[in-house]
Amino acid sequence: MAYDALTHRDAPLSDAALSQLFTEARTRNGWTDRPVAPELLHRLYELTKFGPTAVNGSPARFVFVTSPEAKARLVPLMSEGNREKTAQAPVTLILGHDLDFHERLDTLFPHAPGASAWFADEAGRRETAFRNAALQGGYLTIAARALGLDVGPMSGFDAAGVKAEFFADSNVEPNYILNLGYGSDENLFPRAPRLSFEEAARIV
């Protein structure tokens, strides 16, 4: 098979696109007051859902916190250093993982009837849900940047409190939280160093 012609699937993105997604993108701590339209959040999910997960389990659950009332419930549950920026951001996403994700596999993984039985063990199910929901959060970060949004992921929050406040009466547990919107340069840290290929990777 010849490899001298690129298809639309394997042609690289432009440098400008890669810059927007990776090299020039920054984690935001300050936010403008520009609102994020609900339709854009729908579009964000519609892109995110296509990222691959184990057995197409799609365990992530998304709560987009936008109203003042919901923000008032969430902000006190954030760690002190995360409260002001969470209050300021137009949208705060609570990313959860559903420990009962396997109950949807007849729909999501129809070519393997009975696949839900593969996850009878609670510990294995919990690990799968956590890992794959976190993976979906990574897809969402890139999708958000592709749509012109900025992101600010956070792990400092009262997990039990967020569970009780936003996922009560379900088997969904909070994974992590990220702010979404149009970032400002307020409290923007200088870009931190990254590990070199030699420090972080190898080819075997």
**Residue 203 counted as domain residue:** no
Report if residue 155 sits inside a domain: yes
Q: What is the amino acid identity at position 166?
A: F
Residues 158/83, Cβ–Cβ less than 8 Å: no
CA–CA separation, 92 and 83 (whole Å): 11
Residue 204 domain-assigned (yes or no): no
Mapping DSSP onto H, E and C, the string for 155-185 reads: CCECHHHHHHHHCCCCCEEEEEEEEEECEEC
How many angstroms separate the Cα of 123 from the Cα of each of 5, 73, 94? Answer: 46, 30, 23
How many of the other CB atoms lie within 10 Å of CB of 106? 13
Judge whether 2 lies within some domain: no
Q: Which range among 8-17, 161-170, 179-188 shows the weakest confidence by mean pLDDT? A: 8-17
Query: What integer is the mean pLDDT of 98-114?
Result: 97
Helix (H, G, I), strand (E, B) or coil at 188: coil
Express each pLDDT in 171-186 by its tens digit: 999 999 999 999 999 9
**Which residues span the domain enclosing 112?**
32-183
Burial of 115 (0-12, 13-18, 19+ CB in 10 A): middle
Residue whose structure tokens are 């923007």: 188
Residue 37 in any domain: the answer is: yes
Domain count, the chain: 1
pLDDT band of residue 149 (cuts 50, 70, 90) is very high
Distance CA 116, CA 45 (A): 24
The pTM (predicted TM-score) of the whole model is 0.93
Burial of 24 (0-12, 13-18, 19+ CB in 10 A): exposed
CATH number for the domain harbouring residue 122: 3.40.109.10
